[in-house]
């Protein structure tokens, strides 16, 4: 017997109603917490007095970490600190401007907004699946919106801190000829394409499901 | 000249009354839910499965034509 026919014959429940309701409640909580966190972070970046700001920094091709340390020592020793660990290389500025503070927090804020909004969009979808109405009107649109939000977040969240880094490098004159620091932006296209594409395909499946659902409405 | 608009009308009410049967009894004997029978009886159904039609006709001992007819819309 083929595995496919075994699974179809058994008609297993992949996620139980109770689990769906628990996840749905969790998404509501996650949405509220994430949006609250985003609001607090945004207000904080505008209100609190400038504090040391740690930003990701990349090096030009061929430059070494030692060169970056040396360059920083010569040009902006008092105002900056360069650190490198497994997550990458970071430039900490001790006296960021208000714009740099806001830009530095904006990536985190956008990520939290994306997570919060997506969670709140997915909550009614899960609730309708738990109610046995997976193709209720609006579910396909919700998934498509989550795909758009995910795309925007995948592009903007890694880019915004880079913009802040460019501001800092420019202000501290760390980007003149021969500087080891990269004045520009790089990002991976894989998360931008892959995850939203899967969500869009899912949204299309739900859209067709909604169409089928409308067809059988009133069928006895 | 085009024909006046018409719709399918269900005569379940009359058939049940003639046989002295209730909707609940029909539901139990035909294996169709009361909710679905109610939708059919009140002309709110947009489609009927052959299996539903067969089950109702068997219990009521009638033909689909006795249960449904096409009449001009009021």
Residue A217 in contact with partner chain B when CB distance is under 8 A: yes
- For residue A218, give the nearest of B32, B37, B46 by CB distance: B46
Which comes out higher in pLDDT, residue B72 or B53?
Answer: B53
Domain assignment present for residue B71? The answer is: no
Query: H-helix or E-strand containing A54?
Result: strand A53-56
What CATH number does the domain containing B17 carry?
1.10.260.40
Cross-chain residue pair B45–A216, CB shorter than 8 Å = no
pLDDT digits (tens, 9 = 90+) for B26-50: 999 999 999 999 999 999 998 999 9
Which residues in B lie closer than 8 A to residue A220 (C-beta atoms)?
Answer: 32, 36-37, 39-40, 45, 47-49, 52
- The least confident of A61-65, A166-170, A206-210 is A61-65
Within 10 angstroms of residue A91's Cβ, the number of other Cβ atoms is 24
CB distance A75 to A173 below 8 Å: yes
Identify the band that residue A65 occupies on the pLDDT scale cut at 50, 70 and 90. confident
pLDDT computed for residue A169 by the predictor:
85
Which comes out higher in pLDDT, residue A161 or A191?
Answer: A161
d(C-alpha A121, C-alpha A199), whole Å: 13
Domain assignment present for residue B28? The answer is: yes
Q: Is A218 left (phi over 0), alpha (psi -120 to 50) or beta?
A: left
Domain ranges (residues) in chain A: 14-216
Domain assignment present for residue B6? The answer is: no
d(C-alpha A86, C-alpha B51), whole Å: 66
- For residue A219, give the nearest of B32, B37, B46 by CB distance: B46
CB distance A25 to A126 below 8 Å: no
CB distance A135 to A212 below 8 Å: yes
Distance from CA of B1 to the nearest CA of A (A): 31
Domain assignment present for residue B43? The answer is: yes
Which comes out higher in pLDDT, residue B24 or A58?
Answer: B24
Domain that holds residue B51: 11-65
DSSP characters over A70-114: HHHHHH-TTTEEEEEETTEEEEEESS--HHHHHHHHHHHHHHHHH
Looking at chain A, which residue has its C-alpha nearest residue B51?
A220
Burial of A116 (0-12, 13-18, 19+ CB in 10 A): buried
Domain count, chain B: 1
Domain assignment present for residue B72? The answer is: no
CB distance A53 to A93 below 8 Å: yes
Residues 6+ apart with CB under 8 A from A176: none
């Amino acid at each position: 017997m083929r595995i496919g026919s075994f699974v179809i014959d058994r008609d297993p429940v992949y996620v139980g109603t109770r689990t769906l309701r628990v996840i749905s409640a969790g998404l509501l909580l996650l949405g509220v917490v994430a949006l609250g966190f985003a609001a607090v972070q945004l207000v904080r970046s505008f209100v609190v007095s400038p504090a040391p700001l740690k930003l990701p920094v990349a090096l030009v091709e061929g430059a070494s970490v030692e060169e970056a340390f040396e360059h920083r020592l010569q040009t902006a020793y008092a105002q900056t600190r360069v650190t490198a660990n497994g997550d990458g290389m970071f430039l900490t500025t001790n006296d960021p401007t208000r714009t740099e503070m806001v830009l530095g927090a904006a990536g985190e804020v956008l990520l939290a907004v994306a997570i919060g909004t997506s969670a709140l969009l997915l909550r009614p979808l899960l609730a309708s699946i738990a109610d046995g109405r997976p193709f209720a009107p609006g579910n396909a649109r919700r998934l498509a919106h989550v795909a758009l939000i995910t795309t925007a977040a995948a592009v903007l969240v890694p880019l915004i801190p880079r913009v802040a880094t460019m501001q800092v490098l420019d202000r501290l004159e760390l980007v003149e000829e021969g500087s080891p620091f990269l004045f520009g932006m790089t990002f991976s296209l894989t998360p931008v394409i892959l995850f939203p594409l899967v969500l869009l395909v899912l949204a299309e499946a739900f859209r067709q499901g909604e169409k089928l659902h409308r067809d059988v409405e009133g069928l006895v | 000249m085009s024909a006046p608009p018409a719709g399918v009308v269900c005569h379940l009410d009359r058939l049940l009354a003639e046989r002295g049967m209730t909707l609940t009894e029909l539901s139990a004997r035909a294996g169709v839910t009361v909710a679905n029978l109610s939708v059919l009886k009140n002309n709110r159904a947009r489609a009927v499965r052959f299996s539903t039609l067969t089950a109702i006709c068997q219990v009521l001992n009638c033909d689909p034509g006795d249960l449904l007819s096409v009449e001009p819309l009021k």
